[in-house]
């Protein structure tokens, strides 16, 4: 019988080959290597293969993430009971709950209303419009999904650009880039922030506060927005703007739902910032209120959750424990320390961590790269006798500094087609913003979270 060669068949074949290779290497190590280091070697192999699969995306990110605990279990690195403990992590509840609250804001039209308000206030002035987009997107993405923010505001921005004859490129680049900078303002703004927090708390260190990321996020959002707005080459409008970019349902029932959604979001943020109760409990209560008041149906709740992020985070979280318990993280840390020297230079260590994470995040999921490098950064800091909070802050910020390529982050990808953007556009706009992010990080971290 003829075998039909398809992309799916290729994925299955490659998956079998990779799994067989890992198990074969494991068996070889088990019979020939130092028994005390077998688990460390296996963990390093899993990290390397995971990084390769995350970069190439031969399989979906969630499938690769789910393979991590399975392979570690099959090779005896972790026990079956430990394999999927990541799904019971409080940060998974936080992720899912914030996705639901964000879904309620999107469904009720709150984000469209904000976009339309900005559009109506800035008609006829392109630079003022870009500034309005930058401010509104930074504020929204600080608490909601970056991808969701861009997806909802994309038609608003395209509509106003087309209505007056402005360049879509200018408007959509500002939209995508400020969605990434705004996400660095709060703990829930972007997955890497929650990831580094989870690694810190798992290792027994004091986690970051809800707005602690704002030490870097706010300066970066302000300077980044100024750079993006002031360096755009504007053109006079070809015609007068006409009406709202998106029509909203302004029925009394929808207005009531819109008000409830805003109140829920504000209440959740206030409770989180005040630390009255745990972050995941506050978010879960907010999500429950959204469902009870009919802002979302049960089906829409499921659809609003980014399941790739959930599986990616929960699946790779076990790597942090494996790197620590097997000594694999220490082996990587020792290699890096040997390369950078032991002169305890904050500048050198922070630069190495930022560039390593920041360069890789341009080609793979920022959540994935953060999950892989956060525990390694923790080990490097420990090996140098440094406070790991500063090191992990650098990893988290660098992972979110995904500005230079269209595949670096979903917001960049979303605007590529509608904005008629090329790789050169991303490099030309994103590289200076990446440098700004690096300079702010290097300037702030030693003062707020000193390593020594």
Residue 395 placed within a domain: no
Please tell me whether residues 121 and 15 are part of one structural domain: no
pLDDT confidence bin for 102, thresholds 50/70/90: confident
Quick one: pLDDT at residue 271? 83
Please tell me whether residues 62 and 128 are part of one structural domain: no
Mean pLDDT of 109-115: 75
pLDDT tens string 422-432: 888 888 999 99
Domain boundary among the residues 304, 323, 345 is at: 304
pLDDT tens string 289-333: 999 999 998 889 988 887 877 887 778 778 767 877 787 766 776
Please tell me whether residues 138 and 245 are part of one structural domain: yes
Domain boundary among the residues 277, 304, 331 is at: 304
Please tell me whether residues 168 and 283 are part of one structural domain: yes
pLDDT confidence bin for 240, thresholds 50/70/90: low
Domain boundary among the residues 304, 324, 353 is at: 304
Give dist(CA 220, CA 392) in Å, integer.
18
Q: Cα–chain-centroid distance for residue 339?
A: 29
Quick one: pLDDT at residue 124? 63
Domain housing 275: 90-304
Please tell me whether residues 125 and 45 are part of one structural domain: no
Residue 343 placed within a domain: no
Mean pLDDT of the chain: 80
> How many independent structural domains does the chain possess?
2
Please tell me whether residues 115 and 132 are part of one structural domain: yes
């Amino acid at each position: 019988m003829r075998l039909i060669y398809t992309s799916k068949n290729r994925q299955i074949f490659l998956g079998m080959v990779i799994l067989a290779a890992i198990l074969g290497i494991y068996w070889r190590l088990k019979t020939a290597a130092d028994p005390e280091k077998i688990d460390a070697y296996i963990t390093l192999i899993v990290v390397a293969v995971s990084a390769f699969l995350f970069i190439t995306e031969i399989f979906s990110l969630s499938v690769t993430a789910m393979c991590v605990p399975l392979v570690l279990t099959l090779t005896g690195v972790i026990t079956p009971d430990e394999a999927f403990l990541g799904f019971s992590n409080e940060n998974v509840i936080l992720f899912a709950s914030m996705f639901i609250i964000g879904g309620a804001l999107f469904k009720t039209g709150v984000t469209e209303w904000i976009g339309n308000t900005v559009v109506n206030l800035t008609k006829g002035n392109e630079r003022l419009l870009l500034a309005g987009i930058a401010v509104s997107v930074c504020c929204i993405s600080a608490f909601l999904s970056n991808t969701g923010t861009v997806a909802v505001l994309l038609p608003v921005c395209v509509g106003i650009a087309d209505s007056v004859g402005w360049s879509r490129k200018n408007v959509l680049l500002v939209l995508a880039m400020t969605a990434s900078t705004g996400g660095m303002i709060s703990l829930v703004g972007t997955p890497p922030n929650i990831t580094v927090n989870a690694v810190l708390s798992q290792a027994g260190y004091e986690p970051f506060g809800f707005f602690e990321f704002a030490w870097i996020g706010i300066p970066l959002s302000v300077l980044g927005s100024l750079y993006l707005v002031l360096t755009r080459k504007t053109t006079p409008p070809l015609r007068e703007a006409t009406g709202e970019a998106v029509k909203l349902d302004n029925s009394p029932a929808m207005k009531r739902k819109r008000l409830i959604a805003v109140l829920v979001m504000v209440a959740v943020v206030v409770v989180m910032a005040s630390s009255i109760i745990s972050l995941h409990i506050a978010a879960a209560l907010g999500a429950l209120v959204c469902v009870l008041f009919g802002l979302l149906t049960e089906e829409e709740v499921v659809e609003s959750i980014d399941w790739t992020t959930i599986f990616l985070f929960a699946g790779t979280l076990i790597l942090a424990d494996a790197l620590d318990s097997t000594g694999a993280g220490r082996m990587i840390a020792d290699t890096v320390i040997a390369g950078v020297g032991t002169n305890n230079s904050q500048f050198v260590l922070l630069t190495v961590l930022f560039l390593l994470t920041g360069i890789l995040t341009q080609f793979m999921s920022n959540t994935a790269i953060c999950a892989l490098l956060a525990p390694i950064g923790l080990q490097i800091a420990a090996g140098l006798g440094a406070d790991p909070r500063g090191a992990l802050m650098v990893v988290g910020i660098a992972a979110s500094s995904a500005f230079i390529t269209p595949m670096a982050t979903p917001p960049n990808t979303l605007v590529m087609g509608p904005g008629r953007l090329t790789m050169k556009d991303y490099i030309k706009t994103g590289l200076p913003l990446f440098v700004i992010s690096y300079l702010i990080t290097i300037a702030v971290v030693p003062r707020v979270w000193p390593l020594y």
